[in-house]
Amino acid sequence: MTWETVPLGDVVELMYGKALKSGDRIEGRYPVVGSGGVVGTHADAVVESPTLVVGRKGSIGSLTWAPDGCWPIDTAYYVSPRRDFDLRWLYWTLHNVGLDRMNKSAAVPGLNREDAYRARIPLPPLPEQRRIAAILDEADALRGHATAARATAKSATESLFISMFGDPLLNPHGWEVSTLGDIATKISDGPFGSNLKSSHYVEDGVRVVRLKNIGVGEFLDDDKAYISREHFQRLKRHELDVQDIVVGTLGDPILRAAAVPDNIGPAINKADCVQVRVDGNRSTREYIVDALNMRTVVGQAGLLAHGQTRSRISMSQVRQLQLPVPPLSIQREYGKLRQHHSMLLHAAEARTAQLDALFASLQHRAFRGEL
């Protein structure tokens, strides 16, 4: 189906928001909206009816839906209709226009109204607009439910840890406390400086685990780097085992741990990615990973951070981190329960990815007249 296309400026006027300092706000029912989204509330509104706020400075082209009106501040525009249309349909349409790519400022990104007005959008009949908006709204709600389920599954691991062990810093059960160095059979940082440079990377070979691969309790496998097998032989003392933990000691958060995945193949750790091999007679990998990722432990590590430009903690400081050592039988029971939680989390992540793909397909088809 082919629809008329018109300039965005024929459909709406982009109105400037009004400055409202945080000290001048009176907490109330109306959201205060800037280019980055909702930044607070206020008792009064610039617009009291449903509206759409568009980022003007900073996060240009960002879109915030305000169903009950709002106070858009001066880093944003809000839309004022010039003709009859469905506002939710416009919300989804503007996601496909590319407003976020219209920056012309060399300093602070800015969206010029005249540039936005020239963007052409499809204009189906009003009943069709409403039908498209209803389909996309329903699909987006399903995505929201899936995302919430994923967040719940993710937070369940920390809740399980607390219920079985308590806060590691408080050690409410009074278990023996040991340094990570005493609990591990190996703690080793990756190669520094000229031993491993970007020029050593190749298309395929032996995997290099870098900081961007270490998430909070999860190994992030999207960004892969490799070195040749010949160069690996010179760095073999840094070889990772599939039972190892990798600990990020730079970035945000400054301490984060993840288990090395079973299917990684031959691999080494890079600098600031500390390899930890747990003594299986004293502890389990699951317990140590989750203990290191507890917020109080991360906070303790943050107090040790050093560095002129980028704060980091050293391998020796990682080695000296103190953790309670619960009875091995309890740690193993935790590992079994955690595995069940991981299965639920992976199912929630797969569902989220599936719905994201479906939504992207629906959006593509909707504005090609194929729904």
Model pLDDT for residues 75-101, shown as the tens digit of each residue: 999 999 999 999 999 999 999 888 988
Is the confidence at residue 308, as pLDDT, over 80?
Answer: no
- What pLDDT digit, counting tens, does each position of 13-43 carry? 999 999 999 999 999 999 999 999 999 999 9
Tell whether 192 and 305 lie within a shared domain.
yes
Is there a single domain that holds both residue 40 and residue 66?
Answer: yes
DSSP secondary structure, 268-317, as one string = EEPTTEEEEEE-TTT--HHHHHHHHHSHHHHHHHHTT-B-SSS-B--HHH
Q: Please, what sign has the CA dihedral across residues 164, 294, 336, 353?
A: positive
188 and 313: one domain?
A: yes
Digit-coded pLDDT (tens) for 232-269 = 999 999 999 999 999 999 988 999 999 999 999 999 99
* 357 in the same domain as 312: no
What is the reported pLDDT for 206? 95
The mean-pLDDT minimum among 86-95, 285-294, 346-355 falls in: 346-355
Q: Percentage of the chain with pLDDT > 70?
A: 98
Taking 80 as the threshold, does the pLDDT of residue 104 lie above it?
no
| Residue 171 belongs to some domain of the structure | no
Residues β-bridged to residue 268: 208, 239
What pLDDT does residue 227 have?
95
Q: Are residues 294 and 334 in the same domain?
A: no
Q: Residue 193: its pLDDT value, please?
A: 87
**Average pLDDT score over residue span 306-315:** 79
136 and 225 together in one domain: no
pLDDT band at 349 (very low <50, low <70, confident <90, very high): confident
Q: Distance (Å, rounded) from C-alpha 21 to C-alpha 190?
A: 48
Q: In terms of Cα–Cα distance, which of 9, 11, 21, 14 is closest to 53?
A: 14
Q: How many domains does the chain have?
A: 3
Read off the pLDDT of residues 178-203 as tens digits, 9 standing for 90 and up.
999 999 999 999 998 899 998 999 99
Asked if the structure places residue 291 within a domain, the reply is yes
Domain assignment present for 251: yes
Best CA proximity match to 155, nearest among 13, 354, 348, 325: 348
- Helix-strand-coil percent breakdown of the chain, rounded to 5? 40, 25, 35
334/357 same-domain check: yes
Q: What does the mean pLDDT of the chain come to?
A: 92
User: What CA–CA distances, in Å, run from 4 to 7, 8, 82, 121, 122?
Assistant: 10, 12, 17, 8, 6
Query: What are the CA-CA distances from residue 2 to residues 5, 359, 366, 368, 370 (Å)?
Result: 9, 21, 11, 8, 9
Do residues 69 and 38 touch, judged by C-beta distance below 8 A? Answer: no
Dist. CA 12–CA 132, nearest whole Å? 19
256 inside domain:
yes
The pLDDT of residue 1 is 64
- Look at residues 308, 325, 342 and tell me which one is the last residue of a structural domain: 325
pLDDT, greater one: 339 or 32: 32
Does 242 fall in a domain? Answer: yes
Cβ neighbour number for residue 19 with a 10 Å cutoff: 10
Q: Say what the pLDDT of residue 106 is.
A: 64
- Is 26 inside a domain boundary? yes
Does pLDDT of 55 surpass 70? Answer: yes
Are 92 and 147 contained in the same domain? no
Beta strands at 245-248 and 256-259: parallel, antiparallel or unpaired: antiparallel
Q: d(Cα 51, Cα 67) in Å, to the nearest integer?
A: 6
**52: containing domain:** 5-122
Strands annotated E in the chain:
5-7, 12-16, 30-34, 37-42, 51-55, 63-66, 71-72, 76-81, 120-122, 177-179, 184-188, 201-202, 206-209, 225-227, 245-248, 256-259, 267-269, 273-278, 322-324
Average pLDDT over residues 223-230: 94
Residues 319 and 333 in one domain: no
Residue ending a domain, among 87, 122, 157, is: 122
pLDDT at 132: 92
Looking at the fold, whether 186 and 152 belong to one and the same domain comes out as no
Residue 64 CA to residue 140 CA, distance in Å, equals 14
Residue 129 in tokens: 């607009």
pLDDT at 155 over 90: no
Asked if the model's pLDDT at residue 292 lies above 70, the reply is yes
In a domain, 74, yes or no: yes
Report the pLDDT averaged over residues 105-127. 88
User: How many residues appear in the chain?
Assistant: 371
199 in a structural domain: yes
* Alpha carbon distance 5, 15 (integer Å): 22
User: In this predicted structure, which of 126-130, 152-156, 346-350 has the lowest mean pLDDT?
Assistant: 152-156
295 plus 157 within the same structural domain? no
CATH number at residue 38: 3.90.220.20
Tell me the three state secondary structure of residue 132.
helix
Q: What is the pLDDT of residue 225?
A: 94
152 & 221 share domain: no
At residue 124, does pLDDT exceed 80? Answer: yes
**Confidence class for position 342, pLDDT limits 50, 70, 90:** confident
